[in-house]
A and B are shown apart, each in its own frame.
Chain A
Amino acid sequence: MVEDSYDLTKRKDERSGEYVPEDIPAERAADEVLKKVPGAESRKRKDGRVELNVPSTSIGSVMSEFKRMGYDHFVALTCIDLIKEDMFEMVYHLWSYGARTHVYVKTNIPREDPSIESVVEVFRTAVTYEREIKEMFGVDFPGNQRLTQFILEDWEGPPPMRKDFDSIRYVQDKFDIKVRNPKGLPPKWTKEGGK
């Protein structure tokens, strides 16, 4: 069920070859994607980078289109909990070594039973990011075989990075935080902040 990583012959073929960066500017890459994917929109931000908003069902084709055009360094995958609008926002960060520009691909998924298609087939780097988001936010990624326990051990509460998890109350319940009055110091120093 969890994929094995010990097939040495397979890895030798993947490893061969020199990397040749491709120089396609971000606006042109975004236009190509807009042609192929209906429902996507792009805008230029005030810091000069390009940001795309795509529907969540077409994320696989958007990613392969960008990878084909030289945006093949998968930098990070961020999940933002927009509790007021009742949705999760997933932000994919891509970088092109040839064009030296950064592209944001944003998409929204509903907060109730969240799941989005995994991009592991296109970008292998995303496997650990999706694993962490599944643990911390509870978003499912069908297609990723490696959604196993990552950082938390024996965790029974709700996914901790969500905005409705109150970590201060959890700490007060679980750990004993004491008010200290060390012996040896005069009481007027330890009570009432030294007044």
Chain B
Amino acid sequence: MMDDFKVTEIIFGPQHPGIHGNFGTRLELRGDLVYRARMVPGYLHRAFEKLMEQRTWMQNVAIVPRICVPDPDVNEMAYSMAVENIMGLEVPDRANYIRTIILELSRISAHLMGLGGIGGAIGLYTLPMWTNGDRDYILDLFEELTGGRVYHIFIWPGGVRWDIPDNWPRKVNKVLDHIEARLPEYYSLFFESKVTDARLKGLARFDSRWAVDHGVTGPNLRATGLEVDIRRMEPYAAYEDIDFKVITRKEGDGLARTLVRWYEVRESIRIIRQAVEDMPSGEIRAKTPPPLAFMVPPGDHFARVESSKGEYGYYVVSKGGKFPYRVHVRGPSFTHGIDVLEQILPGNEISDVALITGTLDVCPPDIDR
């Protein structure tokens, strides 16, 4: 069937309003259908792994959030977890609860941005306007606590940098009330529409066996029916003491992946409320060497964190000394954005290329680093 059409080769290049971030695709089309796709990463390459070998352990905490732009706190968390494990530091309880709140707030803001991206790819521009507007309130909370809207540099090896202000938990609850009241409006705007059903149902379906064989992690894997979540499998921060549900769907198509994200926002709100209520008192930082003479004993460790996009891992190798010897960043989009996309794009129409990339939530900075 596909051989009857005219063959066209195009560059779906980096400068395009449908692309999330700076990412290129080369497509061979037969008529309107994609026959072969080759992804072109590398437009955002900054050589982080080389830069991290030339900066001290504490200076790396400032450079590391820039690797994943919508969800920056998972980078600081995974890096700090790896360094703490090599040094044998024990993080106090209050710091763990504060870290949990920050990670979940970052997850909500990344999911809101991702949902907006999917809505924009369909043509429903109301959804990104609403979700980016609500995401601003979360950025206000971060600005009050840490001083920066987007990059926080708040979690470092040993704990967190300073204690939370006294009325910050009350403001967190107010923002969460607002977002929780808006979630049913997003549902009725986006998921109860026939256009969404027509475009997202059955889009790029894959089963859980194929997903595990190709390295799919995170909400994309949970949408195929497997109940796996790093917060349950290898608990970190305060997730062992908090009661939450792992969201799964069975279908494995684009609509299921989007629904998993919507439900996860609701679940994160519940996690933050529990953490704010049960916050213990105590120290916020373990005893660490002074930042200007921060030495880490020899060793290596792989620390993983459940980010909003998938499994985020840092492998840190230390040979003693002031600088790390090797830091390898394992981003979730490294597997989703190159091999998985090249295998599921053929057979779809060209107007769905940006939509499939959006439902998989491919974030180009953590491919190139």
Q: Do A and B belong to a common assembly?
A: yes
A residues near B (Cβ < 8 Å) are 4-6, 8, 11, 14-19, 21, 47, 72-76, 78, 80-81, 91, 93, 97, 100, 102, 104, 123-125, 127-129, 150-153, 160-161, 167-168
A150 touches B41 (CB 8 A): yes
How many angstroms from the CA of A8 to the CA of B343 in the assembled complex?
9
Chain B 180-205, CB-CB to A under 8 Å as 1, else 0, gives 00000000000000000000000001
A74 interface neighbour in B205, B207, B215, B228, Cβ under 8 Å: B215
B residues near A (Cβ < 8 Å) are 35-37, 41-42, 45, 47, 49-50, 54, 85, 205-215, 217, 225-226, 228, 233-234, 301-302, 304, 311, 313, 315, 317, 325-326, 328, 330, 334-335, 338-339, 342-343, 346-347, 368
A8 touches B302 (CB 8 A): no
Q: With a CB–CB cut-off of 8 A, which chain A residues contact B217?
A: 73
B338 interface neighbour in A16, A128, A168, Cβ under 8 Å: A128
A73 touches B215 (CB 8 A): yes
Q: A80-B317, A128-B339 are in contact. Are A72 and B212 (CB under 8 A)?
A: yes
B228 touches A97 (CB 8 A): yes
B226 touches A19 (CB 8 A): yes
B42 touches A153 (CB 8 A): yes
Q: With a CB–CB cut-off of 8 A, which chain A residues contact B215?
A: 73-74, 124-125
B315 touches A93 (CB 8 A): yes
Q: A6-B35, A8-B347, A124-B213 are in contact. Are A161 and B50 (CB under 8 A)?
A: yes
Shortest CB distance A100–B (Å): 5
Shortest CB distance A146–B (Å): 9
A18 touches B342 (CB 8 A): no
Shortest CB distance B19–A (Å): 17
Q: A8-B346, A75-B313, A128-B334 are in contact. Are A151 and B36 (CB under 8 A)?
A: no
Q: A75-B311, A97-B228, A125-B339 are in contact. Are A151 and B209 (CB under 8 A)?
A: no
Shortest CB distance B3–A (Å): 12
Q: With a CB–CB cut-off of 8 A, which chain B residues contact A160?
A: 47, 50
Q: With a CB–CB cut-off of 8 A, which chain B residues contact A123?
A: 213
How many angstroms from the CA of A160 to the CA of B47 in the assembled complex?
9
B42 interface neighbour in A91, A124, A151, Cβ under 8 Å: A151
Q: With a CB–CB cut-off of 8 A, which chain A residues contact B42?
A: 150-153
Q: With a CB–CB cut-off of 8 A, which chain B residues contact A127?
A: 339
Q: With a CB–CB cut-off of 8 A, which chain B residues contact A100?
A: 233-234
B208 touches A18 (CB 8 A): yes
How many angstroms from the CA of A176 to the CA of B138 in the assembled complex?
40
How many angstroms from the CA of A152 to the CA of B343 in the assembled complex?
23
B326 interface neighbour in A72, A78, A97, Cβ under 8 Å: A78
Q: With a CB–CB cut-off of 8 A, which chain A residues contact B368?
A: 151
Interface core residue of A14, A123, A168 (most chain B CB under 10 Å) = A14
Q: A125-B339, A160-B47 are in contact. Are A15 and B207 (CB under 8 A)?
A: yes
Shortest CB distance A111–B (Å): 15
A167 interface neighbour in B50, B206, B210, Cβ under 8 Å: B50
Closest to A162 in B: B50
B328 touches A5 (CB 8 A): no
A161 touches B301 (CB 8 A): no
How many angstroms from the CA of A161 to the CA of B35 in the assembled complex?
35
- Other A-B pairs, 17, CB within 8 Å; known A11-B343, A14-B210, A18-B225: A4-B36, A6-B346, A15-B205, A15-B209, A16-B207, A17-B210, A19-B208, A19-B211, A73-B217, A75-B302, A76-B302, A76-B330, A78-B328, A93-B330, A125-B339, A128-B339, A129-B334
B209 interface neighbour in A18, A47, A75, A80, Cβ under 8 Å: A18
B226 touches A97 (CB 8 A): yes
Closest to A128 in B: B338
How many angstroms from the CA of A104 to the CA of B302 in the assembled complex?
9
Q: With a CB–CB cut-off of 8 A, which chain B residues contact A18?
A: 207-209, 225
